[in-house]
Each structure stands twice: as C-alpha cells, then as structure tokens.
Amino acid sequence: MRKLLLIFSAALCCDLALLFWCLAPHPNLAVYFFDVGEGDSELISWSNGAKVLVDGGRAGRLGAELGRALGSAERRIDLMLLTHCQVDHLGGLKEVAERYEIGVFAYNGCIYNPPEWTLLEKELDKRGVRLVALAAGDRLRIGESEIKILSPLPNLRPAVSDENERAITFLLQDSGRSFLFMSDAPPELEEQVVAEIGSAVDVLKVSHHGSRFSSTRNFLAIARPKLSVVEVGTNSYGHPAAEVLERLGLYGSVYRTDLSGTIRVFLDYGTLRIFSARPPAG
C-alpha cells in the first residue's frame, strides 16, 4: 500500500511529486459542500491554512462560492482534486486555476477527455502545476487528518471506460470523525468502497446527486451516515430520487444544496457543527 504524506508550509513546497509539504498538526477543519447547481464541488480547509478543493461543478458557479468561503485575500489552493473527467465536476476548475495559485493537481488519470479537460490541462501546464494520479491505497496526511483514497483500483482494467467507475472516492478522518466522499460512484463501486471501510461514517457526500441507482440498501447498512449531503441542482434526470432520500433518512439528517444552499460542516475537537442558509430536506 502506498502512503503519501501531505505537509504544508507557507513558504516552501517540498517534493511535489510525492505530495509533501510542511504543516503543523491540528485537529480542526471545515468542509464546504458548495451549491453549484447540478454538479459537485467541495472545499476542505484546516485552521492552519491548508486547503483542498475537490471538483469544481460546471463553469460559472464555483468562483463566487469559493470567494465567500475563503475571503478576497486568499489566493492559494494547496491541492486541487478532480474525482473524474465529467463536465459537472471539472467545468469550474479552469476559472479557479486562473485566479488561484495551485500547489498540486490530483486526479484519476482521465481516460475520457472532454474539451473542458483539455482547456484545464493547458492552464495547469501553463502555470507549472504538477499533475499526480491517485488510486486506491494512497494516503494523504494533513496535520492530524488522514485522507484514504478508496478508488479507483490501481490495476483497473483498461476496458472500463466509464469515468464514474474510475472516480476517486475517499475517506477523510480526523478527531474520531469520518467523512466519506463518493463522487459519482455506481453501485458496484459503492460495494467496493464499503467493503474497504467496513464501518459507519459521520458524514456522507452522496453519490451521483442522489441518482436512484446510488446509496443502495447494502451500502447504507454499512455506511450508516449520521449526515448525508446531496449536491444537486435543477435537472431532467430525477435527481435526487425519492427512494434514495427515504433510505438516507433512515440513518440521519439529509441536506440538499438545491434546497439549503451551500452546506458547511465544522469539526471542532471531535464535535460536528452544521450550518446552511435553509433547513435540511427532512
């Protein structure tokens, strides 16, 4: 199993190829589930200044949300992580790459290359940002937090061309609490992930905007999330499905970005605090 240590420093990035920075440990973090419409984007930030941006939604929505979360003076993202190359996850990242200093860009390898990916890749190359492909078994350490990459498998067969099946999913753990980020994982990948974690989580970023194929009964019987967040906007796909919301509600609170706006979850010495502009879905 490979293990990557993220150590952040305000002045120096050490060995970007292995994702190393200098960072003093601390237990507090904030997770933002941004309201970017029918798409995904999350920000994980630590009180010592380290920041990880996960996905970027479609173009035109992320900039304002990110500015509100970080403030006008902040212009650095230590790690930009793209879970997979679909437009509703990568569309807003080029704008961020143009406006912010990016320490490292991590992704799943992107065998599917839409035009938006080509433009983002060119922008990252122009700015000299190193690209690192992540796979199951990689681990990132940020202070007292650990991010465990759960998928895709390193030896995933080339015949698997569906970007959802190749999506990066990961578990963030800190102060005895856990956050599970499921990207657009299909049911088969959900089964793989819960077999790996094998226990309940505190917060779940629901797969695929609450698609009726996501968050299966078997998956939820193990994950048992106390808080589920569905990132969703106006769509013609029926997201989120009523049966999925019902299943999620059996285990805890369910928030939807289309109803509650951006969701902020703060972890303060093991205590979770949840903030949103409007109440949860039910």
Task: List the CATH number of the domain containing 132.
Answer: 3.60.15.10
Domain that holds residue 87: 13-274
Q: Is the pLDDT of residue 13 over 80?
A: no
Task: For residues 226 and 252, give the distance between their C-alpha atoms in angstroms, rounded to a whole number.
Answer: 4
Residue predicted with more confidence, 106 or 48 = 106
Tell the burial category of 192 from Cβ atoms under 10 Å away from its Cβ (0-12, 13-18, 19+): middle
* Mean of pLDDT values over 53-63: 95
- Number of structural domains, the chain? 1
Does 1 map to a domain? Answer: no
Does 279 map to a domain? Answer: no
Does 97 map to a domain? Answer: yes
Q: Kindly report which listed range (74-83, 122-131, 229-238, 249-258) carries the lowest average pLDDT score.
A: 229-238
Token readout for 162 is 């569906």
- pLDDT at residue number 20: 31
Does 136 map to a domain? Answer: yes
Residue predicted with more confidence, 92 or 10 = 92
Q: Which amino acid is at 250?
A: L
Q: Which H or E run includes 150? A: strand 145-151
Kindly report the number of other CB atoms within 10 A of residue 179's CB atom. 26
> pTM for the complete prediction?
0.89
Does 131 map to a domain? Answer: yes
**In which band, very low, low, confident or very high, does the pLDDT at 277 lie, cut at 50, 70 and 90?**
confident
Tens digit of pLDDT for each residue in 154-172? 876 555 557 899 999 999 9
Tell the burial category of 125 from Cβ atoms under 10 Å away from its Cβ (0-12, 13-18, 19+): exposed
- pLDDT at residue number 62: 95
